[in-house]
Amino acid sequence: MLNDMVLVIGANGQLGTVLTTALKERYGDGNVLASDIAKRTINTGLFEIIDATNFKLLDDIVKKYKVTQIYHLAAILSANGEKNPILSWEINTKTLLNVLEVSRLNAVEKVFYPSSIAVFGQNAPKENTPNNAFLDPETVYGISKVDGENWAQYYYKKYNLDVRSLRYPGVVGYQSLPGGGTTDYAVDIYHKAVIGQEFSCFLKADTKLPMIFIDDAIRATIELMEAPKSQIKIRTSYNISGVSFTPKEVAEAIKKNISDFSITYNPDFRQGIADNWPESIDDTKAREDWNWKPKYDLSAITEIMLEKLKEYYQQAI
């Protein structure tokens, strides 16, 4: 731990922001190098601007800091990905291949690769989707994530590179905003409720999707990465579940606290994406192999989100 130098690529994203803080708590400020394609005010401590499509730049920085672990979070998500499929493919796949190659060539000990429920398509069971379900995604994001899972396993089997991966459900958190996904409504709805505005949902009321609270997502990531190597049996990616819910269920949970909260449903192209995704996830493998267990259900998530966002908007006044 002490000699580790942990590089986070995409440190300014929804997950990256919170994961970077959690890794600093574990490894120390001086052992975590945050990076993204632009610097922001939140970037205190070690920071480098890295466009991970640039192999030489990434290689130089990994050498300069003697990086031992890489958390590669840079990606274009499902909804934004459909606006420019070829660019999304290039960014999502080229950055990962650069990370895997640089890691192999510089003896980086561990790599974390975030996959997603977006790997699943119409031919996967909708309820309790198993880890080894057939993968036929219909978004460029999902296609790139399946590709990445197979490259992760390839580098593990061919070069013994310790790449580990999770299939994140939609992440719900208050510290940072999501960026261009189909599950983003589950964060925006709380912001609108707290500022007293009506929420227009881009999914139908009964669209059930797997979600996870940010603290569970971060804990799962660190528990996976710190588990003994022998326990990691799946080298493509692990299903993890938090809680599944519909927009209607979130609105009802919010109304228990904000009685005059109102929501309208105006499905757009993202409904088509959500319709191809599972409604609930079977994460037996993660529970068996590295003792994964979620902690937060919808009412706990709602309580924390409303409390934290009220504080945030109070301070902003």
Give the binding site for ligand AKB (CB under 6 A): 77-78, 116-118, 141, 168, 170, 181-183
Nearer to ligand AKB, 78 or 241 (CB): 78
- Residue 12: alpha-carbon gap to chain centroid: 12
Nearer to ligand AKB, 79 or 102 (CB): 79
- Rounded Cα distance between 238 and 76, Å, is 20
Question: What count of other Cβ atoms lies within 10 Å of the Cβ of residue 49?
Answer: 12
What DSSP assignment string belongs to 141-177? Answer: HHHHHHHHHHHHHHHHHHH--EEEEEEE-EEE-SSS-
- Rounded Cα distance between 241 and 263, Å, is 26
Active site residue 141: yes
- What sign does the dihedral 74-80-81-86 (CA atoms) show? negative
- Residue of minimal Cβ distance to ligand AKB: 181
How near is the Cβ of 201 to ligand AKB at its closest, in Å? 14
Nearer to ligand AKB, 4 or 136 (CB): 136
Name the burial class of residue 190, with classes exposed (0-12), middle (13-18) and buried (19+) by CB atoms within 10 angstroms of its CB.
buried
The count of C-alpha atoms lying within 13 angstroms of the C-alpha of 96, restricted to the half-sphere facing its C-beta, is 27
How near is the Cβ of 273 to ligand AKB at its closest, in Å? 8
Name the burial class of residue 207, with classes exposed (0-12), middle (13-18) and buried (19+) by CB atoms within 10 angstroms of its CB.
buried
How near is the Cβ of 108 to ligand AKB at its closest, in Å? 25
How near is the Cβ of 191 to ligand AKB at its closest, in Å? 16
- Rounded Cα distance between 173 and 312, Å, is 13
Nearer to ligand AKB, 48 or 137 (CB): 137
Q: From the candidates 141, 155, 174, 238, give the one annotated as an active-site residue.
A: 141
Nearer to ligand AKB, 5 or 298 (CB): 298
How near is the Cβ of 120 to ligand AKB at its closest, in Å? 10
Q: Which residues are catalytic?
A: 141
